[in-house]
Amino acid sequence: MSEFKALTDAVIKGDIQTAVAETQSALDAGSNVQDILDQGLIAAMDQVGEKFSTGQMFVPQMLRSAKTMQECMKLIKALFQEGQLSTKGKVVIGTVRQDLHDIGKNLVAMMMEGAGFSITDLGVDVSPKDFTQKAQEVGADIVAMSALLSTTMPAMREFASEIKADSYAPDAGSAVIAAKKLLGIT
């Protein structure tokens, strides 16, 4: 059993007050900050992603868990020196040009951040040139592109195959799993 089980459980439940209190308690007890992140917060979001992917959790619950994790991160981010916070990989994410939908992109970004990835969010209506420039600038491991026009949804999987994308994910939980698989992370 993890020493951060109460924290993990609170994040999964979306109980901000308890999760923040557990994070502060762990800090006060002298726990390693990276351990709080990895074994408490990221472990919780890994479970959230799995539950979401299997239909055991729905968007509102997932959003609440992600918000809970973000509130806990506010306590620990300040304790990391620049570059000290370990990351599973750098992700540049955005919604493709001529598409202004961002709910799905935002869900993926939150879940990826919760899983330990460093996120650079380019927003919506992003040109291929902007994706390329930012990916090169930050040394991105993954470029995640979102498109949600109702006319393109049925063809997205086929389109991903046609453009030889390394992966396609139909939802946020699956996106995290795919990103980990692409980078060889278990």
The CATH code of the domain at 90-182 is 3.40.50.280
Give 50-90 pLDDT, tens digit per residue.
888 788 998 889 889 988 988 998 888 777 654 556 678 99
Domain ranges of the chain: 5-77, 90-182
Residue 126 is given by DSSP the state B
Residues linked to residue 94 through DSSP beta bridges, in sequence order: 145
Give 113-136 pLDDT, tens digit per residue.
878 888 999 999 898 899 999 999
Q: Which of 13, 88, 23 has the alpha carbon at shortest distance from 44?
A: 13
The CATH code of the domain at 5-77 is 1.10.1240.10
- Measured over the CA atoms of residue 40, residue 65, residue 167 and residue 177, the dihedral's sign is positive
